[in-house]
Amino acid sequence: MIDNCGRTIDYMRISVTDLCNLRCRYCMGEEGVCKKTHQEMMSAEEIVTAVKAAAGLGIRKIRITGGEPLVKRNIVSICRNIASVEGIEEVCMTTNGILLPDMAEELRAAGVTRLNLSLDTLDAERYAFITRRGDLQQFFDGLEAALSAGFDKIKINVVLIGGFNDDEIRPLAELTLKYPVDVRFIELMPMYDSGDFDEKAFIFSECVLQELPELEKAKQDGGVAKLYRLPGAKGNIGLISPISAHFCSSCNRIRLTADGKIKPCLHSSEEYSLKGMDLAGMKQVMELAVFHKPQWHGVLDAHNRSEAGRWMNQIGG
């Protein structure tokens, strides 16, 4: 699909659930989610139908996310069914990794080829604080399981938070010396209700370059991250800058929420429901959403919060 700004849209992120086994402070409220009724959420069959509709319109890459995708019932068969849809060339997943020890091999066998794992600190107490409940060892058990399962690519996503983990940039980056993974530093996005974070928390990804002067430019892969490498590393360092250098002009994605709304822009309140529709109806909704995809999402900073109208776990980061 080509949108009305001339951008090719070939990537869909699907939040398969808004439930999560963690409660990261920048992503969702402490109380979790107000569990919607089963009928209000996309069924496994509807998710696969939506992928067929999207593939028919030119979507080639799918990212499964959430909430935590691995807490979704039947997630392995959902991935398998998505991977077998004609036209879908790549199925990736973003996960907090906690449940990977039991699921990594099955996911790989189901056709998921790339994983992004989220980790904001190497300190167990900080990890428990930022996730409001997580156990850092479980993350590393998940990482080891993912490495053994033979995914084509594993990336670790670090949300940069001033006053929380800006003193850990070097040790986090040095994970690329120890493991064959990329580490990507992502600027904290001011979701509409993430009141825990004041101005000091919103730091720019440039600070990674100051902290690691030895970084060398790496071959760019066409993605949203600017890529660098530590000398001798097994993987790249990526800087993702939605705040300091938004990438709206090259945005190639739409999102499908767990309750069946197409969001053409992460930070806009515009949503188009396809819940309960058949394949033809879903296609029409997707075309409408792409037609109305905003040109850009406006200024985002500590004072100008996202207009998404949802927490990140309800959209799919």
Q: Which residues here bind ligand SAM, judged by CB under 6 A?
A: 20, 26-27, 65-66, 68, 94-96, 118, 157, 159, 186, 188-189, 191, 194, 312-313, 317
Decide: is 236 part of the binding site for ligand SF4 (CB under 6 A).
no
Q: Which helix (H) or strand (E) holds 239?
A: strand 237-240
Which of 12, 24, 104, 237 is in the footprint of ligand SF4 by CB under 6 A? 24
Q: Is the Cβ of residue 1 or residue 12 nearer to ligand SAM in the bound state?
A: 12
d(CA 262, CA 274): 7
CB 4 within 8 A of CB 287: no
CB 223 within 8 A of CB 235: no
Collapsing DSSP to helix, strand or coil, 153 comes out as strand
CB 8 within 8 A of CB 60: no
Q: Is the Cβ of residue 1 or residue 201 nearer to ligand SF4 in the bound state?
A: 201
186 binds, among ligand SF4, ligand SAM, none (CB under 5 to 8 A by kind): ligand SAM
Which of 28, 42, 160, 239 is in the footprint of ligand SF4 by CB under 6 A? 28
CA 293, 294, 296, 302 dihedral sign is negative
191 binds, among ligand SAM, ligand SF4, none (CB under 5 to 8 A by kind): ligand SAM
Decide: is 67 part of the binding site for ligand SF4 (CB under 6 A).
yes
Q: CA dist 301 to 265, 297, 304, 315, Å?
A: 17, 12, 5, 19
End-to-end Cα separation, the chain, in angstroms? 22
Q: Is the Cβ of residue 81 or residue 118 nearer to ligand SAM in the bound state?
A: 118
Q: Which of 183, 84, 96, 186 is nearest to 146 (CA)?
A: 96
Q: Which helix (H) or strand (E) holds 244?
A: none
Least spacing, CB of residue 96 vs ligand SF4, in Å: 4
Decide: is 315 part of the binding site for ligand SF4 (CB under 6 A).
no
Decide: is 23 part of the binding site for ligand SF4 (CB under 6 A).
yes
Q: Is the Cβ of residue 49 or residue 96 nearer to ligand SF4 in the bound state?
A: 96
Decide: is 16 part of the binding site for ligand SF4 (CB under 6 A).
no
Collapsing DSSP to helix, strand or coil, 185 comes out as strand
Q: Is the Cβ of residue 132 or residue 234 nearer to ligand SF4 in the bound state?
A: 132
Indicate the angle between helix axes 100-110 and 75-83, nearest 10 degrees: 20
- Which two structure tokens, joined as six digits, stand for 2? 């080509």
28 binds, among ligand SAM, ligand SF4, none (CB under 5 to 8 A by kind): ligand SF4
CB 131 within 8 A of CB 22: yes
188 binds, among ligand SAM, ligand SF4, none (CB under 5 to 8 A by kind): ligand SAM
Decide: is 238 part of the binding site for ligand SF4 (CB under 6 A).
no
| Residue ranges binding ligand SF4 (CB under 6 A) | 20, 22-24, 27-28, 66-68, 96, 118, 312-313
